[in-house]
Structure 1
Amino acid sequence: MTALVAVAHGSRDPRSAAVVHQLLDVVRALSPSVDVRGSFLDLSAPLLGDVLRGVYADGHRSAVVVPLLLGKAFHARVDVPGAVADVRLPGLAVTIADVLGPDPRLESAALRRLASVGVRSRDRTLGVVLAGAGSSHAPANALVSSIADRWAAGSGWAGVEAAFASSATPDVPTAVARLRARGARRIAVASWFLAPGFLPDRVSRLAGPDALIAPPLGPDPEVAELILHRYHSALPTPLAATA
């Protein structure tokens, strides 16, 4: 059996790790035969290197690391490979799977979270902000913007604007102002975050006290299915998929 080692960014906010573990519980429920373990790059325990060493100590000789990241920014391109390389276990074959985004299942989860706070399609009084973390890597931001554009074309809302909590523009107040200028009388915020923490809280504050705030993607069944899909796609051999 090849272990599935999920790795999230990590946060000083304990809610973040708690939600990641809840999501991985859904993954385990969907595929009980897979050894699913959670880890973090920083700020939360256990760290990725420690989990990989534990996987090896428990008898595994192969593992797939699935980054719980929504885009291919710095953490995916640099931090995850670096943490894997630092482990230095010649007897453990480690494959790094693709990040979670882009994928329609993430969009479905984000729309379900919006619906959970009362947002409905075809409401011309409503403007929606799709809020992500923001990155110095422009393609990661462009991914969020492309989703916002797609939603705007088919939702029937007054408009949809991408916004970012840090490192990129527009920020949330700018996106809200653009929606107001388009005639939106109410504002809702869709979350392009996997779990709660400092940046989602910042987005909520900047959106204003009257905004409808959708929770992060969290322990959504389609997100869990996506994690398993990334794992199976990265398995080193067809035989491993049936182990």
Structure 2
Amino acid sequence: MSATPILLAVGHGTRDPAGVATIRALLERVRALRPALPVAACFAEICAPSLDDAVAGLGGPAVAVPLMLGRGYHSLVDIPGRTGPGTVVARPLGPHALLARALADRLRATPPADAVVLGAAGTSDPSGMADVRAAARLLGRHLGRPVAHGFAASAEPSLTDVVGDLRRRGARRVTVASYLLAPGFFHRRIHDSGADAVSPPIGVHDALATLILRRYDEAALAYGPLGETPQKAASRP
């Protein structure tokens, strides 16, 4: 058994080849930051390798890190339910100040705006909605200005409504900070919100790669010093 648990990065999955390529490039950045750490990639749905196939082929302890920006079905129910007893599931990535730093960097690619909105994909989970609100507050603190939030799908307030409301209140230029890891369906939906500018997804960024490693390190504490499974580690005197 390996003394170092594998970092099993679990992406959501997308039919957009650019989205898959972005996740793989992001994990290359993770490997560059910690070359000795074994890193494997899989997806909860749509893409290969699947989470189930990846877990079946692990051959040792692992920490599954959901590449998700907040709590929701995949991070709270699906991924924990599909991993074996030798795998610990880390917290989702957000909200976190490192994500705010990365979002601020991506906003530099857009022109100055009167108002900034954090644009998230959408969730039906109340805890996930709360995570997006917290992420907007963190970005506002980083930028030193108020940041509203809206969802591209499946939640309220809708991003289109938030952009329209800001215009009615006098904002001439509205920019959306894309609270997404990679391009795909939801980024296209954000572009349809009526905003004047939309930042690129977070993508390959050192702050995001550092956060992935931080979530791994937090969860890896469940293992004993020799890479024992969490159950065995808990039984140590």
**TM-score when normalising by structure 2:** 0.87
Aligned Cα root-mean-square deviation (Å): 2.0
Structure 1 stretches lacking a partner, 5+ long: 86-91, 120-124
Q: Aligned partner of 2:66: which letter? A: P
Q: Give the Cα separation in 2 of the matches to 1:173 and 1:66.
A: 31
CA deviations over 1:180-211 (Å, ceiling 9, x no partner): 12321111110111111101111112235xx1
Equivalent residues of 2:118, 2:177 under 8 A apart: yes
Aligned sequence identity (%): 40
Q: Give the Cα separation in 1 of the matches to 2:137 and 2:169.
A: 15
Residue 89 (structure 2) pairs with residue 104 (structure 1): no
Residues 175-194 of structure 1 mapped to structure 2, 5 A cutoff = 175-194=162-181
Q: Aligned partner of 1:224: which letter? A: A
Equivalent residues of 1:76, 1:99 under 8 A apart: yes
Among 188, 200, 203, the alignment partner of 1:215 is 200
Q: Identify which range, 30-39 or 44-53, moves more after superposition.
A: 44-53
Q: Give the Cα separation in 2 of the matches to 1:104 and 1:156.
A: 13
Q: Give the Cα separation in 2 of the matches to 1:170 and 1:29.
A: 39
Equivalent residues of 1:41, 1:83 under 8 A apart: no
Determine the structure 2 residue equivalent to 1:137.
125
**TM-score when normalising by structure 1:** 0.85
SS at match of 1:177: helix
Among 18, 21, 41, the alignment partner of 1:18 is 21
Residue 210 (structure 2) pairs with residue 225 (structure 1): yes
With over 3 angstroms needed to count, the CA separation of the structure-2 counterparts of 1:146 and 1:103, relative to structure 1, is: closer
Shift of 1:14: 1.3
SS at match of 2:108: helix
Q: Give the Cα separation in 2 of the matches to 1:5 and 1:217.
A: 20
Shift of 1:149: 4.2
Equivalent residues of 1:113, 1:215 under 8 A apart: yes
CA deviations over 1:150-178 (Å, ceiling 9, x no partner): 55567465x53211011111112211112
Question: How many residues in Structure 1 have an aligned counterpart in Structure 2?
Answer: 223
CA deviations over 1:86-137 (Å, ceiling 9, x no partner): xxxxxx7111111111211011111111112244xxxxx5111210011111
Q: Aligned partner of 2:67: which letter? A: L
Q: Aligned partner of 1:16: which letter? A: G
Shift of 1:81: 1.3
Residue 92 (structure 2) pairs with residue 84 (structure 1): no
Structure 2 stretches lacking a partner, 5+ long: 228-237
SS at match of 1:66: strand
Q: Give the Cα separation in 2 of the matches to 1:73 and 1:81.
A: 12
Residue 108 (structure 2) pairs with residue 115 (structure 1): yes
SS at match of 1:4: strand
Q: Give the Cα separation in 1 of the matches to 2:207 and 2:19.
A: 19
Q: Give the Cα separation in 1 of the matches to 2:140 and 2:29.
A: 31
CA deviations over 1:194-240 (Å, ceiling 9, x no partner): 111101111112235xx111011111101101111111111112455
